[in-house]
Amino acid sequence: MSRIGVVQFPGSNCDQDCIDALGRHFDIKVQAVWHTETTLPKLDGLIVPGGFSFGDYLRSGCLAAHSPIMQEIKAFAKNGGSVIGICNGFQILTESRLLPGTLLKNQSRQFICKPVYLKSVQGDSVYHKKLAGKVMQVPIAHGEGRYFAEPEDLKKLWDRGQVVLQYTTKTGELADTANPNGSFDAIAGIISENGKVFGLMPHPERATDKLLGGSDQGLAILHAFLAST
């Protein structure tokens, strides 16, 4: 069984959702790690959850990227540990340079909270292979989710197979109306060159149970994360 941790920052609000989802659906007892810790327990995978770390002061994820635990997370990732950053977690991963690019304010300049559709693109990582051909309905909840990278960096992402998820229509087609925040190339999730650090803006942990009135298709993304550990 995978040993999974979740980092908690002041303002994290999806850590418990992750703990609940992995506990109920995968029978995994997730270990919470407070941001001021300077060591990580022995883990196979680590979740950097959503929320509003440090109230999103300065920029979303900026202050959290300098928390003491981030040095350990960087070392964990460098040594091949699996990391998934969700929403604010994705922002923290880009701010700490564990992933390229940045997340800008939504094109509408408004906070957006609604279900969207995602589709995996072709690639060689575990995420690409586990999610291949799937169109998933997963919610978003963010004000700064517009993925941006310079043109040459975007080209590198595509050339290296680091783009994992794009916002699409229900039938898996790209369309401006299906891109909720104006992300460049409709990017919803990317991965590190070694295929171990994954960041995405949508919330798979909020799409694990149809009884909540939505989708359970986020389970596929969490399953891919566990398979990467």
Enzyme catalytic residues: 87, 203, 205
Which DSSP string corresponds to 121-143? Answer: ---SSHHHHHHTT-EEEEEEEES
What's the CA gap between 189 and 85, in Å, rounded?
10
Question: Phi/psi zone of residue 195: left (φ > 0), alpha (ψ -120 to 50 degrees), beta?
Answer: left
Among positive and negative, which fits the CA dihedral 72, 78, 81, 84?
Answer: positive
Q: What angle do CA 86, 84, 96 make, to 5 degrees?
A: 85
DSSP-based three-state secondary structure for 198: strand
